[in-house]
Amino acid sequence: MFLKLTNLDAEQHRDLRYTPNQPYDFARELVMVPVVSGEVTRVAREMPIVFPKAQGVPQALLGVKPDESLHVRDSGHWLGRYIPAHIRRYPFVLAEVPTSPDVAPGQSEVLRCQAWWG
């Protein structure tokens, strides 16, 4: 889904901020995004929820043509009332990584990362 994830560094990313009314240009080419259980009822009011075999998790269907979301205007504004959490949290994401010596065997670590779409 994201093209690149970078582990957050306090010094390098000190000016990075979440902006609630950001433009959604980065989501213009998304056709599906993952949906978490707590948002299913909100998502279902505005867009279909699909269960693709390859993804393994429910997905909000944002468009029907490849690389074309029907929920982002040319101006970058979101069309509709509800924005799925996967898009709303940009540019931040939690990423699961293989264990390090500090983590118990069979478990993984979760890192806070900056996501890059392009």
What is the pLDDT, as a whole number, of residue 22? 78
74 shares a domain with 95: no
In this prediction, residue 63 has a pLDDT band, given cuts at 50, 70 and 90, of: very high
55 shares a domain with 35: yes
Higher pLDDT, 66 or 88: 66
What is the pLDDT, as a whole number, of residue 105? 59
7 shares a domain with 50: no
What is the pLDDT, as a whole number, of residue 98? 60
Mean pLDDT of 51-78: 90
82 shares a domain with 97: no
pLDDT digits (tens, 9 = 90+) for 90-118: 776 666 666 566 656 556 555 555 555 54
Sheet of 109-116, strand order: 4-7, 109-116, 92-97
Q: Which two tokens stand for residue 103?
A: 């983590």
82 shares a domain with 48: yes
Domain span at 68: 23-88
Task: Quote the number of domains for the chain.
Answer: 2
